[in-house]
């Protein structure tokens, strides 16, 4: 008797990959909206966030850059006389 050509675990792997891809697209959309509001390069950040192998790493890098940028912009310059 030959084993079946279609296994249930191959469908589960495909479904999991699809879920991760949808989550990554949602994160990329949220990054795009936030980057546009922050007047950063929104299309570039969104495209980088969609990249298959590096998307989640880009998400973390974006959060770090955004926090550093926002903390720099909120600091009031000291006035020296």
Other CB atoms within 10 Å distance of the CB of residue 69:
13
Long-range contacts formed by 34-42: CB under 8 A, 24+ apart: 34/66, 35/62, 35/66, 38/66, 38/69, 38/70, 40/65, 40/66, 40/69
Q: What is the pLDDT of residue 33?
A: 95
d(CA 60, CA 21): 17
Instruction: Say what the pLDDT of residue 42 is.
Output: 92
Domain residue limits, the chain: 8-74
Note the pLDDT of residue 16: 87
Instruction: Write the DSSP string, 2-24.
Output: PPPS--HHHHHHHHHHHHHHHHH
Question: Can you give the pLDDT at residue 43?
Answer: 92
pTM score of the predicted model: 0.69
Average pLDDT, consecutive stretches of 10 residues, N- to C-terminus, the chain (81 residues)? 61 84 91 92 90 83 89 67 57
């Amino acid at each position: 008797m030959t084993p079946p050509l279609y296994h249930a675990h191959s469908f589960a792997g495909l479904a999991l990959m699809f879920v991760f891809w949808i989550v990554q697209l949602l994160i990329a959309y949220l990054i795009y909206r936030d980057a546009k509001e922050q007047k950063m390069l929104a299309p570039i950040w969104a495209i980088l966030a969609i990249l298959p192998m590096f998307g989640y790493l880009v998400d973390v890098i974006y959060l770090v850059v955004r926090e550093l940028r926002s903390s720099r912009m909120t600091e009031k310059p000291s006035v020296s006389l």
